[in-house]
């Protein structure tokens, strides 16, 4: 079951942006970016979702493809919003990434 938290239409550009944030199963969220990113550690707590009870940071992250990360979140409910408030320190970006960003 795929529940879309947010999906943005991206018209190109030179900055890395969040393309989509999808709930793939309870507590597991995929974060897709418009440009390749590289995970350099096992967690990116800056990737946050809100299940209606407040924003929760990711507790573990794995790289699925050059542009997609899978993040585990402590919540058991589907997220209703996402945000990245500060630049993720455990990711490197092919192109600059601007924060904060958020979506519903």
78: confidence class by pLDDT, cuts 50, 70, 90: low
**CATH code for the domain of 19:** 2.60.40.1220
User: Cα-flanking dihedrals φ and ψ of residue 13, to 5°?
Assistant: 115, 175
Residue 57 domain flag: yes
- Flag whether pLDDT at 68 surpasses 50: yes
Residue 101 domain flag: no
The candidate with the shortest Cα–Cα distance to 47, out of 13, 22, 14, 76, is 22
Residue 37 domain flag: yes
The mean per-residue pLDDT over the stretch 36-59 comes to 90
Q: Read off the pTM.
A: 0.82
> How many domains does the chain fold into?
1
What distance in Å separates the CA atoms of residue 9 and residue 18, rounded to the nearest whole number? 10
Residue 90 domain flag: no
Residue 26 domain flag: yes
CB 14 within 8 A of CB 42: no
- What is the residue range of 22's domain? 3-85
Residue 102 domain flag: no
């Amino acid at each position: 079951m795929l529940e879309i938290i947010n999906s943005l239409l991206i018209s190109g550009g030179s900055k890395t942006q969040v393309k989509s944030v999808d709930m793939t199963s309870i507590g597991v969220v995929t974060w897709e970016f418009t440009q390749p990113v590289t995970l350099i550690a096992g967690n990116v707590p800056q990737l946050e979702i809100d299940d209606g009870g407040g924003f929760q940071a990711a507790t573990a992250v794995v790289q699925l493809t050059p542009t997609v990360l899978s993040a585990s979140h402590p919540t058991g409910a589907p997220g209703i919003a996402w945000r990245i408030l500060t630049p993720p320190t455990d990711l490197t970006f092919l192109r600059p990434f601007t924060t904060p960003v958020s979506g519903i």
